[in-house]
Structure 1
Amino acid sequence: MARTFVGDQTVGNTNRVVGTYGYMALEYAFRGQFSTKSDVFGFGIMILEIEVLRCIHVGLLCVQQRPVDRPNMPSVILMLGNDSELPEPKPPGYFTETDSQERVHISRKPDSFSKNTITMAEVEGR
């Protein structure tokens, strides 16, 4: 939008709104008012998309079911800090999905255990 400005113009108005609504500043999309800040809005949305998508992708790599498939922390830092292509994550681990050996270990009851209790108190005015 900034290209449509003339000379030292900093704000403008239009009757014809063009572009992709998700990237448009609200004042432009609804009232046709544009400024150099309209471009900043669209750029901000684009940056959020790029940073958030990469973070989600790295997060999915970190929660893969098999520990051997998960990256180490130095690799995670590198993945977040550069533009290299990321590997496709395998399905994430779920608490309900365990190996049969883990299931046997979890299902065994310990010989001794402690019972945690909690006391609730309500404060009432006089």
Structure 2
Amino acid sequence: MNGLQAYQRVNTQTSITDADPHKLIQLLYNGALERINMAKARMQAKDFEGKGRLISKTIEIIGGLRSFLDFEKGGELVQRLEALYDYMERALFDANRLNDVAKLDEVSSLLRQVKDGWDSIREEVLGGQQAAV
């Protein structure tokens, strides 16, 4: 492992350790988006094994996001999010199987929209002030 990778691993572990639940979900969204971008690059480079690993990891992250859903308190919004996460997982599976960059772009766009909504919740809770990160 080179120095940069070691630094990134320690930095990521520190971020996760110090994260509150809201920040942890933000990190999951960021990780999923990052892996989709990396998978797209691997797909375009015809590194299908690397692409497959990255898409599989993205599907795992979306499964992690799904595990945070609170069906008792979330009502219809949680049901819609679960359906959206299910759609994203299936779209990623298809993107992997068909080497479909457009599917990766679609899931990335959906994730960004949900992430933007999640980020705005934090701003509302903090009264527009950013938390110390």
TM-score when normalising by structure 1: 0.30
Q: Give the strand-richer structure, 1 or 2.
A: 1
* Higher-RCO chain (CA-CA 8 Å, sequence separation at least 6): 2
Q: Which has the higher helix share?
A: 2
TM-score by length of 2: 0.28
Greater gyration radius? 1
